[in-house]
A and B are shown apart, each in its own frame.
Chain A
Amino acid sequence: MARLGFRIESALDELERDGTLSNVQRAVVSERVGRAVRAGLGFDLVAIVATLGAVLVAAGVLYLLGYHWGDFSKGGKLALVFGIWAAVHAGGYALLERRPFVGRALTLVGVLAFGGATSLVAQMYHLSARYPWSVLAWWVLAIPIALVTRSRAVLVAVVGVALFWCMWHVGVWIEELPGAHDREGVASIAVVVLAACAALLALAALAERSRFEAFAAILCAPVLPLLFLAPLVLAFHPPWSRTETAVDLVAVLVPATIGVVAAALVLGTASARRGVRAALEGWIVLGVALLLAACALLAPVAVPAVANLAYFAGALFVVTLGVRAARPVLVNAGVLAFVVGAIIRYFEYLFSRLEGAYAFLATGAILLLGAFVFENRRRALKRRLAEGAR
C-alpha cells in the first residue's frame, strides 16, 4: 500500500510539472488519495492478521490429522478427504460475495486440493501409473471452475498445471520408446511447448472483448518466457551433429503432431470468431513450431541454425513490438533474451578462441547501437505524447 501511495504521488508530481493539474488541484487529489490509501492499509492489516490466524489453525488441524492418519480406517480416511475438500469448496462459494478475496482463495485451495486428494487416495490403495493421467484430469476438470468463478487465480493454476502436464506426459512417452532418442525427445517437447504457446495466444484472442476479458493477460503471461526457452534448448550444436542409427522419428514426434493439430484447431476457432489478425501471433508461433519439427524430421543437422535464427529473430521482434506498443516490459524482455542468447553462444562456440573477443566486441557494438536507436525513439515518442497532451 505504501508503495502504491508513493507511485501515486510520483504520478501527481508529473501531472503538476507538465501543467495537467494546478498546485491546488494536486493538493486536493493528494489529500483524498492519501486518506483512501490509509483506510486501505488499516483494512488490509486486520484481514492479513485474521488470514494468518486461520491458516495456522487449518495447518494445525491438518498436521494433527496427518499425524494420526494411520489410525483411521479406509472409510474414515475417504470421509475426511472428501469432507474437508467439499468444505473448502463450500466455504469458497459462500464467501465469494461477502469476502471476495477469501472466497477466491478458498476456491483456489479447493482446485489445488484435487492433487492432494488424488495423492491420498493413491497412497491408500497403493496405486501407481506410468502416465500422469491424474494431472491431466486435474487441469481439465478445473476449467469449468475457472469459467464459473471467473477467478484469475484459478486460471493461473489451470495454465500452470496444464503446461507442467504437457512436458511430463511427453517426457514419459519419449522414455517408453525403445532406443536412444534424447535429442528427438527434446525437439518433441520444444515443439509441444511452442504449440501450447500458440494455443494460449489463440485463447487470449478469444477471451478479449468477452466476459472473460480479464483472462487474456493470464493466458499470455507464460508465452514470452516459453517462446524463448523452446528454441533455446534446441540451439545447442552437439546433439544434432551426431550421425546415429535411425530412430522411430514418427513415434517420437507423435506428441508434437498432436500438439500442433490441437493448437491449429484453437487458432482456427479464434480466427473464425475474431479474425485472422487477432490470432496472427499464434499462427506465427505455430509456423515456427512446424519449421522446427520439419527440421528435426528431415534435416537434423540444421536444427541448431534454425533454432538460433528463431531465437534471435524472436528477441528482435519482441523489442520492435515493445517499441511500437510503448511497452518497456517487452523491450526489456527482448533485450535480455538477446543478451542471454549471445552469452550462451559465446561459451558454446568461442570460449577458447580469439574469435571470442571479436564476437564480444561485435555483439557489444550491436547492443550499444541498438540502445542508442531505441533510446532516441523512446524520447521522440515521449515528446510526441507530451505535445499531444498540450
Chain B
Amino acid sequence: MKPALRHALAVLPSFVAVAFIAFDSERVLRTGTEVRLAVRAPELQQDGSGRYVRLPLAIGDLATLAGGAALATGDEVFVRVEPGEPAWRAVELLHAPPADEHAVALRGRVVEVRVGTRELVFDVDRYFLPDRGADPSLPSGAHALVAVVRVTPSGACGLAELLVDGVPWSEWDARAAH
C-alpha cells in the first residue's frame, strides 16, 4: 500500500466520526417534528466546552409529572407532549416510545443536578453563546425563554433555536447590542 494512502486511511476515521456527529445532528433538525418548550430558571455557565446558557425545560420538572417522584437517578423515560400556548405541555410519562406514530415524545433521563434535587434532561439543555453574545438569563426572570426543539420518532431531539421574548436569540442579541 502506498504511504500516502496508508496515512490517509489512518487519519480518515477521525474525520468520519466528526462528520457523522454533524450529519446526525443535521438529520434530526431537518426531519424531526418541531415543538416549543418553555424554559424555567435558565443560567449562564462557562466551562471547558464553552460559554452557554443552561436550559432546564419545564417538562423536565419531576414534581409536575405524574409518576415523576417514583423515578430513580439514571432512569431513561419518554415524555409525551402536546401542543399548547405559549409552549407545548407534558401529558404523560412513558418507559418506551409511544406506539402512536403521530405522538411526539422526547427521550430523557433522570439526573441529580444538586444534592436532593432531581430533574429530567433531554440533551437539549444548553444553548452556546458567542463570547460577546448577550446573556438571556439576566436579569433573572426578566425574559421568557422558549426552546425550539426538533424531535424524531425515536425520541432523539435537537435544539434548533432559542426564542427570547418571542424572537430568535440572534435577533434579540443584535437589538441588545444597539
With A89-B11, A141-B14, A176-B74 as known contacts, state yes or no: A128 contacts B126, CB within 8 Å.
Answer: yes
Cβ of B29 to closest chain A Cβ, rounded Å: 8
Contact with A along B126-137 (1 / 0, CB 8 A): 111010010000
Q: Kindly provide the distance from the CB of A161 to the nearest chain B CB, expressed in whole angstroms.
A: 12
How many residues does chain A have at the interface if contact means C-beta atoms less than 8 Å apart?
38
Interface residues of A in 274-317 (CB under 8 A from B): none
Q: Does B111 contact A (CB under 8 A)?
A: yes
Which of B18-26, B36-44, B60-68, B91-99 lies on the face that meets chain A? B18-26
Find residues 1-18 in chain B having any chain A CB closer than 8 Å to their own CB.
4, 6-7, 9-11, 13-15, 17-18
A137 at the interface (CB under 8 A from B): yes
Across-interface contacts of B14 in A (CB, < 8 A):
111, 114, 141-142, 145
Q: Nearest chain-B residue to A111 (Cβ)?
A: B14
Q: CA–CA, A118 to B18, complex, Å?
A: 6
A69/B130 contact (C-beta < 8 A), A86-B15, A114-B18, A126-B124 known: yes
Could you mark each residue 67-87 of chain A with 1 if its beta carbon is under 8 Å from any beta carbon of chain B, else 0? 001100000001001100110
Question: Which of B111, B124, B158 is within 8 Å of A176, CB to CB?
Answer: B111
- Are A178 and B15 in contact, with the CB atoms below 8 A? no
Q: How far is the CA of A118 from the CA of B15 in the complex (A)?
A: 10
User: What's the count of A-B pairs with C-beta under 8 Å?
Assistant: 91
Q: Are A141 and B17 in contact (CB under 8 A)?
A: yes
For residue B104, CB closer than 8 A to chain A, the reply is no
Given contacts A93-B7, A119-B50, A149-B7, contact A130 B111 (CB under 8 A): yes
Assess whether B25 is in contact with A125, with CB atoms less than 8 Å apart.
yes
Give bound CA distance, A148 to B26, whole Å: 33
Q: Tell me, rounded to whole Å, the shortest Cβ–Cβ distance linking A137 to chain B.
A: 5
- The answer, yes or no, to whether B123 is at the interface (CB within 8 Å) is yes
Q: Is the CB of A178 within 8 A of B11?
A: no
A127, B25: Cβ atoms closer than 8 Å: yes
A148 near B21 with CB under 8 A, answer no
Inter-chain contacts of A175 with B (CB < 8 A): 112
CB distance from A74 to the nearest CB of B (A): 8
Asked if A118 contacts B21 (CB within 8 A), the reply is yes
Interface residues of A in 93-128 (CB under 8 A from B): 93, 110-111, 114, 117-119, 121-128
Q: Determine whether the beta carbon of B72 is less than 8 Å from that of A178.
A: yes
Are A82 and B19 interface neighbours, CB within 8 A?
yes
Is residue B57 contacting chain A, with contact meaning CB distance below 8 A? no
Q: Is A144 an interface residue (CB 8 A)?
A: yes
Closest CB in chain A relative to B54 CB, distance in Å: 9
Q: Which of A139-185 contact B (CB under 8 A)?
A: 141-142, 144-145, 147-149, 175-178
A137 and B19 alpha carbons, distance in the complex (Å): 13
A148 to chain B: which residues have CB within 8 Å?
6-7, 10
A48 within 8 A of partner (CB) = no
Choose one: A69, A122, A125; the contact of B49 (CB below 8 Å).
A122
Contacts of B130 in A (CB 8 A): 69-70
CA–CA, A110 to B111, complex, Å? Answer: 35
In the complex, B81 has a CB within 8 A of chain A: no
Q: Shortest Cβ distance from A50 into chain B, in angstroms? A: 24
Q: Which residues of B contact A134 (CB under 8 A)?
A: 21
Is A49 engaged at the interface, CB distance under 8 Å to the other chain?
Answer: no
A325 contacts partner chain B, Cβ-Cβ < 8 Å: no
Q: Cα distance A110–B127 when bound, in Å?
A: 27
Residues of B contacting A117 in the complex (Cβ-Cβ under 8 angstroms) = 18
With A82-B15, A117-B18 already in contact, the answer to whether A145 and B123 are too (CB < 8 A) is no
Docked complex Cα distance between A122 and B5 (Å): 30
Q: A89-B11, A110-B11, A144-B13 are in contact. Are A126 and B159 (CB under 8 A)?
A: yes
The reply to whether the CB of A64 lies closer than 8 angstroms to some CB of chain B is no
Q: Is B73 an interface residue (CB 8 A)?
A: yes
Q: Does A45 contact B (CB under 8 A)?
A: no
Q: Which residues of A contact B21 (CB under 8 A)?
A: 118, 121-122, 125, 127, 134
CA distance A134 to B13 in the complex (A): 13
Report if A354 contacts B (CB, 8 A): no
Q: Can you list 13 A-B contacts with CB-CB less than 8 angstroms, sorted by A residue number?
A: A70-B170, A93-B4, A111-B14, A119-B50, A121-B21, A123-B50, A123-B52, A125-B21, A128-B123, A141-B13, A147-B10, A148-B7, A176-B73
11 additional contacts, CB 8 Å, given A86-B15, A122-B49, A127-B25?
A: A110-B11, A117-B18, A122-B128, A125-B22, A127-B21, A141-B13, A141-B17, A144-B9, A144-B13, A176-B111, A178-B73
A-side residues, CB < 8 A to B, are 69-70, 78, 81-82, 85-86, 89, 93, 110-111, 114, 117-119, 121-130, 134, 137, 141-142, 144-145, 147-149, 175-178
Q: Which 7 interchain pairs have the tightest Cβ spacing?
A: A125-B25, A144-B10, A148-B10, A123-B128, A126-B159, A178-B73, A141-B14
Chain B residues proximal to chain A, CB less than 8 Å: 4, 6-7, 9-11, 13-15, 17-19, 21-22, 25-26, 29, 49-50, 52, 72-74, 109, 111-112, 121, 123-128, 130, 133, 158-159, 170
